[in-house]
């Protein structure tokens, strides 16, 4: 089906904005079957906010920044990011299974409708940000609370937000030479991730 011009940080706010996407091809992606199109060098663009979204650093007081309607819509007649997209050369992200694209949250990108006869185009996308960014994003659902950081997975590192400790995550090993201790984050009994610091020489079981 495709997805029109958009910036991922429009949907997933992280403050400061440290969002990065990892888009992994599961099948071949071609210009025919709807590969990603990336607006080259558009990472320099500010985030064009949704008109009701105040949780961004950018706002309409900054010159050239306007709120965007119909982001992600294929129709460039109504997708207002189409006013920005053509300033940049678009690069076709053709890919083989296993190829990955990493791109920041303000880069403009889109995909077109699959017009091939019988070729499916599948991809797996995940998004990462610095654990120290404030994340109000709750998978598109309203979230009541100070922040939704705790709803997401801590893939690596540490958080300075004690009220936002992720409920699950991956074991984390810090560089012992740099920090002099190792940090592990196993699952706690209550399903919450627990942080325990261990002395340098103490080995995991
Ligand atoms: O794979 C696609 O068609 C679009 C995916 C995309 O733009 C995204 O995940 O932000």
CATH class of 3-128: mainly beta
Cβ within 8 Å of residue 103, ≥6 positions away: 20, 21, 23, 38, 43, 109
Output the DSSP codes for 25-60. Answer: ESS-B-TTTT-EEEETTGGGSPP---TT---SS--T
**What is the pTM for the complete model shown?**
0.81
pLDDT at site 58: 60
In the chain, what are the domain boundaries?
Answer: 3-128
Residue to mutate (ligand 1; options 111, 114, 116, 140; most atoms within 8 A of CB): 111
pLDDT at site 72: 96
pLDDT at site 50: 82
pLDDT at site 164: 64
pLDDT at site 189: 39
Q: How far is the CA of 13 from the centre of ligand 1 (A)?
A: 17
Closest atom of ligand 1 to 34 CA is: 3
CA distance 193 to 172: 11
Atom 10 of ligand 1, residue of closest alpha carbon: 8
CA distance 167 to 92: 38
> Where does ligand 1 bind, in terms of residues with CB under 6 Å?
3, 8, 21, 23, 36, 109, 111, 123, 125
Per-residue pLDDT tens listing for the chain (205 residues):
899 999 999 999 898 899 999 999 999 999 999 999 999 999 999 999 887 766 565 666 778 888 899 999 999 999 999 999 999 999 999 999 999 999 999 999 999 999 998 999 999 999 999 888 888 888 777 777 777 887 888 887 666 666 566 666 655 554 433 444 444 444 443 444 444 434 334 444 4
pLDDT at site 185: 44
Q: How far is the CA of 3 from the centre of ligand 1 (A)?
A: 7
């Amino acid at each position: 089906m495709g997805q029109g011009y958009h910036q991922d940080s429009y949907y997933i706010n992280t403050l400061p904005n440290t969002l990065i996407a990892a888009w992994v091809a599961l099948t071949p992606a071609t210009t025919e079957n709807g590969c990603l199109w990336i607006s080259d060098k558009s990472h320099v663009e500010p985030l064009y906010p949704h008109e009701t979204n105040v949780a961004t650093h950018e706002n309409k007081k900054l010159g050239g920044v306007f709120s965007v309607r119909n982001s992600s819509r294929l129709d460039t007649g109504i997708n207002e990011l189409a006013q920005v997209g053509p300033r940049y050369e678009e690069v076709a992200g053709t890919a083989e299974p296993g190829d990955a694209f990493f791109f920041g949250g303000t880069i403009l990108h889109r995909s077109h409708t699959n017009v091939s006869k019988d070729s499916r185009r599948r991809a797996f996308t995940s998004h990462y940000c610095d654990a120290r960014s404030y994340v109000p994003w709750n998978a598109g659902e309203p979230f009541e609370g100070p922040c939704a950081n705790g709803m997401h997975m801590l893939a690596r590192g540490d958080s300075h937000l004690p009220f936002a400790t992720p409920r699950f995550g991956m074991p984390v090993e810090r560089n012992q030479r740099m920090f002099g201790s190792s940090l592990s984050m196993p699952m706690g009994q209550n399903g919450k991730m627990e942080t325990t610091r261990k002395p340098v020489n103490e080995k995991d079981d």
